Structure 1
Amino acid sequence: MNIGEFRHLITIKKQIVEQDINGFEIKKYDIHATLWAKVSNLHGKEFFEAAAIQKEKTVKFTIRSVKTLDETMKIEFQGKLYDIIFIDNIKYENKYMEIKAIEVSISG
C-alpha cells in the first residue's frame, strides 16, 4: 500500500453518555483519534450492491490499523458524519484496516 495515498484527515468519534442537570442521559461523541486515510467512493459492483439497499452514500476509508476501533464509533470527514458499518483487518496482517461507512445527519 502506498502511504502517499493517505492524504485525507479523518476524525474517529466515540460515543459517551453524560447526564444533564436533570439526570437525563445525553449521548455525545468525543474525539477518539485523528488519522490520515485513503478515502474512496464505492464503484462498480460495490456501488450497485449498496444502491440496492439504499446505501449509496457509502464511503470506504483505509487507515493504518487501530486496535481500539469498533462499529459503534463514527467518522467525521469534510464536515460530514459517517456511521461505521464494517471494519476489515486487511489480510489479517494488523497493518491496515478498510472501513465502510455510510453518511448520516450531523446531529447524530
Structure 2
Amino acid sequence: MKISSLNKRITLQKLVEVENEANENVLVSQDFKTIWASIAPVKGREYLEAKKIQAELTYKITIRYAKDITPDMQIRYGERIFNIKDIIDPFEKHELLEIMCIEKVVKNG
C-alpha cells in the first residue's frame, strides 16, 4: 500500500469513566490520537429492528503501525463513529495496521 493512500484524517478515541454532576460514573469518549488513514467499505447488511431499518456497514481502516491501539477504542471521522472489532498487523511486519470496524447507521423510514 502506498502511504499516499492514507488521505483521511481520523481521531482515535478512548472510552474513559468520569463522574457526572449526579456523582455517577459514566463512559465518555476522549480523543487519544489524530492520524492519517484510508477508509474502505467491506460489506453491508440491512435488517429490520423495532420498526427502523439499520444498516450495519463494515469498513477496513488502514493506518501506519502503532502499538498503542486497542480494540476497546473507537474511531471518529468527521461526524461518523466506527467501533473497532479487530486489529490486524499484516504479516506481522509492523508497517501497517488494518482495523476492521463497524459503523451503525440508523435510517428513519
TM over 0.5: yes
- 2:80 is aligned with 1:73: no
CA distance in 2, matches of 1:66, 1:23: 35
Query: How far has the Cα of 1:94 moved from its partner?
Result: 1.0
Partner of 1:8: 8
Checking the alignment, whether the CA contact within 8 Å between 1:64 and 1:96 is kept in structure 2 is yes
Tell me if the contact between 2:56 and 2:103 (Cα under 8 Å) persists in the aligned partners: no
Aligned to 1:86: 86
Equivalent residue of 1:72, what SS?
A: coil
Q: CA deviation at 1:71?
A: 0.7
Contact kept, 8 Å, 1:55 with 1:102, in 2: the verdict is no
Larger Cα-atom Rg: 2
User: Which letter does structure 2 place at the counterpart of 1:33?
Assistant: K
Deviation at 1:96, TM superposition (A): 0.4
Gaps of 5+ in 1: none
Amino acid at match of 2:13: K
* Identity among equivalent pairs (%): 24
Higher share in strand: 2
TM-score, scaled to structure 1: 0.82
Relative distance call for 1:93 and 1:55 in structure 2 (3 A) is farther
Q: Which has the higher helix share?
A: 1
2-side partners of 1:27 and 1:104: how far apart? 19
Which consecutive residues of structure 2, in runs of 5 or more, have no partner in the other structure? 48-53
CA contact (8 A) 2:10 2:75 kept: yes
Equivalent residue, structure 1, for 2:51 = none
Q: Residues 86 and 99 of structure 2 are in contact (CA less than 8 Å); yes or no, is this contact kept in structure 1?
A: yes
SS of equivalent residue, structure 2 residue 36: strand
User: TM-score if structure 2 supplies the norm length?
Assistant: 0.81
**Which stretches of structure 1, 4 residues or longer, exceed 2 Å deviation after superposition?**
50-56
